[in-house]
Chains A and B, each alone.
Chain A
Amino acid sequence: MKKFKLSILAAIAITGLVFTGCSSDDDAPTIVNEEEVITTLSVTLVPTAGGNTITLVSRDLDGDGPDAPVVTVSGNLAANATYTGAVAVLNETETPADNITLEVVEEDLEHQFFFTVGGGLNITTDGFNLDSEGNILGTTFNVTTGAASSGTYTVALVHEPTKPNTGVADAGGETDIEVTFNVTIQ
């Protein structure tokens, strides 16, 4: 009786192990294409008085992989000029590219673009578009240039910031994008 019990136990256990052991399927797992990834940020600056449109683009096709983003600035900004600006964020790993700007605008309360100037660049950014509660969203804006100079122009997209805020420093949340462009005003 006792031996019987033990052997039944053994039999159940072994069959269980063997069965599941053998049922291992060799089907290849499905590929996961990162859905949340943002590969590209582009800033378009259109001069209000006519002239060349300037685009600033950062493209990082491997996301957090080892390849660094490719940053391009199409040309120099004119001195003492005004531009209307617009930001677009894309996921270019998909074809056609997924326009994430639409998503940002749709969830405007949870996003904000920040524009930071560094290194003596004579630029002011203002006239931001607002979210549904009247706080800054910043997908469109105005840029006013001053005297000839050069420096950095950083564009950041913060997710779930504290609104309103006085800048990135007290916005909290987390940075989804942060790109620093080297810009010259001529």
Chain B
Amino acid sequence: MRTYLCMILLCSAMVAKSQDCSYTLSGKIIDLHDNTVLPGATLIMIGEGKTVESDIDGKYLFSNLCDGSYSLQVYHPNCETQIFKVKVSGNTERNFKLEHHLEELNAITLRASIFGSKTKTNFEQKVTEKQLDRFSSASLGEVLNTLSGVSSLNTGNAVVKPIINGVHSSRVVVMNNGVRMEDQEWGAEHAPSIDVNAIGNITLIKGAGALKYSGDAVGGIIVTEASKVPVKDTIYGKTNVTAATNGRGGAITSTLTKSYANGWYGSIQGTLRRFGDYEAPDYILSNTGNFERSISGRVGINRFEYGVEAYYSFFKNEIGILRASHIGGASDQVRAINSGTPLIIRDFTYDIDAPRQDVTHHLFKVRGFKNFKNLGKVTLQYDFQQNERLEFDVRRSSNDDDRASLDLALTSQTLRLDLDTDNTDLFNLKTGLMAQYQKNVADPSTGVRRLIPDYERFNLGLYGVADVSITDNFLVEVGGRFDYFHIDAQKFYRSSFWEDRNYDELFPDIVVEEFSNQILTNPKLNFSNVSATFGTRYTFNDSYKLYANYSLASRAPNPSELFSEGLHHSASRIELGDLRFDSEIAHKVSVTLQKQGKTFGFSVNPFVNFINNFIIIEPTEIRQTIRGNFQVWEYRQTKATLLGVDIDASVTFNDNWNFYHQFSLVKGYDETLDLPLIDMPPVNTMNGLVYQNKELKNLLVELQSEYTFRQNEFPDNNFQAFIPETDSFELVDVSTPPDAYHLLHLHTNADFSLSKNSTLNVGLSVTNIFDTNYRNYLNRLRYYADDLGRNISINLKITY
């Protein structure tokens, strides 16, 4: 009966159009989680052809409306698209609450909000994009480095790998546009194959709780998403040009997007980045240039009930590795360390010679979703990735310089089926399954024994995560995931190693063929992993939130940990894996107290991570070879504990001035040996003062101070080596961390309006203002050279 009435009302409203159709519908778009407003949301009045966007204060306005019922579709880049029914009678006011994409209960989502003039989330999203633009000539690792709790493991300055809460590589999962990156992330000198300019926003989850993506993120998950395309007839784009003094290079990136009101859209983006040799304050870091090229495109249709998207991206990066870091045995190491400056310094050049890396990554994805009325949203996704990694060492014969010493091609294909029920406000279930097939091929034409063998890997995964709102303020989340891995490898072992390790007695069954000094084996390994999460979120006093989460992560050993066997040039050491490893099991508990407010906001996030079967690599002996003496580093499983705290805080003094503070501390211990873990990020703190003036061309001036303490807890892996020239044994100090350092950076930018729809943003940055000499404990090349000196860069961004 009521519907009839409604229909009659509606009809009469339509019929009575001529009567009075000058009403307005207005209100705000609000973030369901923290009640902050969301600017930039698109509201479409279905069937009426009216589209508006929410302004900076999250306000929207529809005018010239008649009394009656309307359907509104509300989009926001960070949120799930939702449809609301609204009844307009007279000038009506109505606020809409939107839900985030990720229910990241377990960990607070950090979005560099601190750079905004107020501690409101409405600045967060915008600043994230701005932040990314500012880093348009940097790498993903450098962007993440600005967040508390994240540091990086560097190889020189172009290979930057994120470390989350003290762990890295296979323990950090990168989800790029819904696709788990399979880019040989096991390697400590393998940087993520992602162009930051292809990203709309980044979400960091410091824990394994996002079981939808993976169950093995012992450290955390980095989720990058493309910016959402509005459903309206429009074309827009941006071009960003950066030029920098250090490295005497720059980057140019451009994006163009076309969309239609019927939901169809297409977008294309490309980046070129070229740098020559970078410079430390006192010398040129020879052979550290890099050349990155990437292009990506997507096309799709997005409606409320269904959508399909195809995405392809190509990424290629050539990276020079500091020439002075490519050395022989212990005597070279002693010379290099004692020298204080790199032993090879040449004139500046853009050429990239050996040692160098050449990485190519193809990613293709097709994804479709459909909303079923009584079930929820069903998403099906297929992705194909190919990662080809070439590493060129300095060869004995210069004729061979263009021949790679390592040539690995990793192909992965994944199929995912996800269901997201969203029936009631109180209970939400996410479940799904995934299947993956992966194949690694090591090209034998390198003439160098394979570092990683040929292998095939199958992975089946199944997960379910449910959340229940017990009260308006209290939410509980429970989830579980099961993964099965099967690895089928074809590995050549050196006969001497095979016997030395007793593998001839332990694994006689896997021998396929014996050659004069090598043995071909066929290891088949299975891993069944269980992961789980349990968490709560409690909101009180409107501005305070308390998150508590326990997550269980299980990680199967990676190919490097299982199969390594040989000399690692850039580290000047012999690395040995172990076939007998089990999965690593991590229990992480983290608590976050967050306060958001207009003038003062903070978050405090203590955590503890107990890891069983933690795989570490450590020195075990000195091996004599005809090339000299080398330290042997063997992977070993142990019990480890990591604990720490991350703090963010910001104070807004007035409309123009604000101050922010960041502090990260992590400690890691090997419980079996009762020793500190190697490569733990030293305590560091970042503080900044920001001046912003909206009236003055949106001027922003930011002074940032970065202080890194000396790591005072480290294992002593030093050793003695005989040095013929001095006719004595000398200490090879590979353990002592470098001193603490303090760096100052300045960043300014301003907006200039070019026309109605286009803006020019001009940015000027100076990093390491005082050209301070320093070395970073987490830079694998710290033994050989200082880190980067002063860099002045200019950034021009045009949006149109």
Contacts and interface: CB of A to CB of B under 8 A. Distances in A.
Interface stretch (A9-17, A45-53, A123-131): A9-17
Given A17-B415, A20-B413, A63 B625 contact: yes
Interface in B645-701: none
Interface string A147-168: 0000010101001101000011
A124 B517 CA distance: 39
B630 A64 contact: yes
A38 interface: yes
Interface in B686-737: 722, 724-725, 727
A67 B517 CA distance: 12
B335 A169 contact: yes
Interface stretch (B149-157, B199-207, B321-329): B321-329
Given A61-B517, A64-B567, A159 B394 contact: yes
A144 B189 CA distance: 48
Contacts of A3: 370
Given A2-B306, A178-B724, A16 B447 contact: no
Interface stretch (B91-99, B493-501, B773-781): B493-501
Contact of B500 (A66, A119, A160): A66
A96 interface: no
B724 A62 contact: no
Interface in B498-527: 500, 512-513, 515-518, 520
Nearest to A61: B517
Interface string A102-136: 01000100100000101100000000000000000
Given A24-B439, A110-B398, A176-B328, A68 B343 contact: no
Contact of A5 (B308, B335, B344, B725): B308
On chain B, which size bracket covers the interface? 35 or more
B236 to A, nearest CB: 27
Contacts of A176: 328, 396, 627
Contact of B382 (A9, A67, A175): A9
A63 B382 CA distance: 44
Contacts of A14: 415
B398 A169 contact: no
B332 A118 contact: no
B448 interface: yes
Interface stretch (B29-37, B102-110, B449-457, B755-763): B449-457
Interface in A65-124: 65-69, 93, 100, 103, 107, 110, 116, 118-119
Contacts, number: 186
Contact of A29 (B382, B397, B490, B566): B490
B267 interface: no
On chain A, which size bracket covers the interface? 35 or more
A135 B692 CA distance: 62
Contact of A58 (B332, B516, B626): B626
Contact of A20 (B331, B437, B725): B437
Chain B CB within 10 A, most for which of A6, A103, A152: A6
B724 A174 contact: no
Given A13-B380, A24-B456, A103 B366 contact: no
Contacts of B370: 2-3, 6
Nearest to B447: A35
Interface in B415-440: 415, 435, 437, 439
Nearest to A118: B727
Interface in B311-369: 324, 326-329, 331-332, 335, 343-344, 366, 368
30 contacts: A5-B308, A9-B380, A9-B382, A12-B366, A16-B384, A16-B413, A28-B520, A29-B490, A32-B492, A34-B447, A34-B449, A36-B448, A38-B626, A38-B627, A58-B626, A62-B497, A66-B496, A66-B500, A67-B500, A68-B624, A69-B625, A93-B517, A100-B396, A103-B396, A159-B394, A160-B394, A162-B343, A168-B725, A175-B327, A180-B724
Interface of A: 2-3, 5-6, 9-10, 12-14, 16-17, 20-21, 24, 28-36, 38-41, 58-69, 93, 100, 103, 107, 110, 116, 118-119, 152, 154, 156, 159-160, 162, 167-170, 172-180
9 nearest interchain CB pairs? Answer: A175-B328, A13-B382, A118-B727, A154-B724, A35-B447, A172-B343, A178-B628, A60-B626, A116-B724
